Structure 1
Amino acid sequence: MNTLPEWTDLRFFLELARAGTLSGASRRLEVEHTTVARRIDRLETQLGTTLFDRSREGYELTEVGAALLPHAEAMEGAALAAAEHVGGGEVAAQGVVRLGVPEVFGVKVVAPLLARMLQTHPDLSIDLLALPSFANLANREADLGVMLDPPSTGRYMVTRLASFRFYLYASPAYLARHPPIRSIADLAGHHFVDYVQDRLASRELSYLNELGFTPRRRMCCSGMMAQVEATASGLGLMMAPPYAVADEPRLVRVLDDFSAERSYWLAAPTDLYRLQRVRAVWNLLREHADGHPELFMHMS
């Protein structure tokens, strides 16, 4: 190899590695898919090796391509940090941050929090991905994310955002029509609203299994917002954290002595964590979670 590869070619390499298809990479890069293919061919020719295995399903990294990936990501992080520094990033956070969060947590907690933050950061913009699943940080779907399962491999900054509990709730109308609930054993005769079991975003969401019996799931939904509405309509009982039902007058808590505890984790690729705009959002989430434990657990 007589010359070093161009950074722009490595950027094409990164986006194709993350998207897995020419069409996906071309959308990310806002170019034609033929341009992506041409730049990858040029990079492979320059390096004298094959970086991707091609198939009908798409592009998959070869062993050499996988070895190149962390180096290209480090270059990307350095380029982003340099651009932020030159643009005055050390004075004020600026640019776009893409944040992935669970759907209800994003709607109830994070969106209002970010709205207040943006009022004091005129050069900052947020792409909030409030999803029924969890953002995929490996393919850079988001710059940072809140999740139940932290990354176990790769280069990430990870911290526990908060421990929280799922409690039982029902509508007063449902409780009036059904036998009283005085203990966990009484729950066996009741209906439940839950997640669609073969579409769980995480095994951590199978908290109804902790009841000790197979619940009678009357309705299953892909997201918790739909579960809240179904439960408020009197269909059955559900489990939810306090923030999901805050200011929801149609639901009351059932069995104060039963709950299921989980943890939210905050994670970001190490190279993106170095950017001030990402750290600004990171720190905001940490401070808010630390200062508002009532969002996550009922306080005695």
Structure 2
Amino acid sequence: MNILPEWTDLRFFLELARAGTLSGASRRLEVEHTTVARRIDRLEAQLGTTLFDRSREGYELTEMGQTLLPHAEAMEGAALAAAEQLVGAEVTAHGVVRLGVPELFGVRVVASLLASLLRDHPDLSIDLLVLPRFANLANREADMGVMLDPPTTGRYVVTRMATFRMYLYASPEYLARHKPIHSHADLVHHDFVDYVQDRLASQELSYLNELGFTPRRRLCCTGMTAQVEAAKAGLGLMLAPPYAIPDDGRLKMVLPGFYAERSYWLAAPTDLYRLQRVRAVWNLLREHADSHPELFMHEAPEPSMQL
């Protein structure tokens, strides 16, 4: 190889690797798909190797493409960090941060929380991805994410944001129409609202399977927002963290002290975590979780009955 590849060609390589299709990469880069194809052809010619396997389904990295990927990501991170330092971004965060969060957590907690951060950083913008699943950091769908399953491979910074507890709730109307609940054994006679089991965003959401019996699921939803509304309508019991329950009296806790425990994790690619704008959002979420434990768990009376 007589000439080094241009950084812009490596950007095209990265976006195609993340999107998997020419059309997806072209949207990210705001160019025509033919431009993406031409840049990839040029890069492969310069490197003297094939970086992608082409098929009708899209573009998939070859072994050599996988080898190039972390080096291109490191160059991207260095370029972003350099740009921040040149404009003095070590003092104030600027630019756009794409934050992926679980649906109801994003609506009830994160959206309003971001207001103070944006007031303090007038040049910062947030793309809040409120999802019924967890953001895919590997293809850079988001710059950082809140998730139940942190990445275990690859170059990521990961930290536990909060441990939370899922308590049993039901509407007063449902409780008035059904048998009293005094103990765990009474639950077998009741209806439940849950996630659609073959559409779970994480196996960590299969907490009802830990009850010790097969629950009678009357309504299953792909997101917790719909589950809360269904439970308020009297369709059954549901498990939810405190932040998910509106303070309007339409849902009451059942069997205080009975809960399923999980953890939320913050994760970001290492190169993006170095950016001031990403760390500003990261620190905000960490500090808010630390200072508001009531969002994630109640003080359970003894003895507690963990699933």
Q: Deviation digits for residues 163-210 of structure 1, max 9, x if unmatched?
A: 010000000000000010001111111110000000000000000111
1:108-257 to 2 correspondences below 5 Å? 108-257=108-257
1:19-98 to 2 correspondences below 5 Å? 19-98=19-98
CA drift of 1:65 comes to 0.4
CA drift of 1:91 comes to 1.4
- Could you tell me how far apart the structure 1 residues matched to 2:17 and 2:204 are? 29
Q: Which amino acid aligns with 1:162?
A: A
2:277 aligned with 1:277: yes
CA drift of 1:247 comes to 1.8
4+ aligned runs moved over 4 Å, structure 1: none
Q: Which amino acid aligns with 2:277?
A: R
- Could you tell me how far apart the structure 1 residues matched to 2:271 and 2:121 are? 22
Q: Which amino acid aligns with 1:130?
A: V
Aligned with 1:153: secondary structure?
Answer: coil
Aligned with 2:39: secondary structure?
Answer: helix
CA drift of 1:248 comes to 3.8
Identity of aligned residues (%): 82
- Could you tell me how far apart the structure 2 residues matched to 1:104 and 1:180 are? 29
List runs of 5+ in structure 1 lacking aligned partners.
none
CA drift of 1:271 comes to 0.1
List runs of 5+ in structure 2 lacking aligned partners.
301-307
- Could you tell me how far apart the structure 1 residues matched to 2:247 and 2:189 are? 28
- Could you tell me how far apart the structure 2 residues matched to 1:146 and 1:242 are? 17
- Could you tell me how far apart the structure 2 residues matched to 1:15 and 1:248 are? 46
Q: Which amino acid aligns with 1:68?
A: L
1:253-268 to 2 correspondences below 5 Å? 253-268=253-268
Aligned with 2:133: secondary structure?
Answer: coil
Q: CA 1:130–1:124 in 2, change beyond 3 Å: closer, same or farther?
A: same
Match of 2:305 in 1: none
Q: Deviation digits for residues 57-98 of structure 1, max 9, x if unmatched?
A: 110000000000000000000111111111220110000000
Q: Deviation digits for residues 89-136 of structure 1, max 9, x if unmatched?
A: 011000000000000111111111101211111010000011110000
- Could you tell me how far apart the structure 1 residues matched to 2:263 and 2:60 are? 33
Aligned with 1:258: secondary structure?
Answer: strand
TM-score, structure 1 as length reference: 0.99
TM-score, structure 2 as length reference: 0.97
- Could you tell me how far apart the structure 1 residues matched to 2:41 and 2:2 are? 17
Aligned with 2:93: secondary structure?
Answer: coil
Cα-Cα RMSD: 0.7
- Could you tell me how far apart the structure 1 residues matched to 2:106 and 2:88 are? 29
- Could you tell me how far apart the structure 1 residues matched to 2:176 and 2:76 are? 59
- Could you tell me how far apart the structure 2 residues matched to 1:268 and 1:62 are? 25
Match of 2:304 in 1: none
How many residue pairs get matched? 300
- Could you tell me how far apart the structure 1 residues matched to 2:248 and 2:18 are? 40
CA drift of 1:246 comes to 3.9
Q: Which amino acid aligns with 1:7?
A: W
Q: Which amino acid aligns with 1:110?
A: V
Q: Which amino acid aligns with 2:166?
A: F
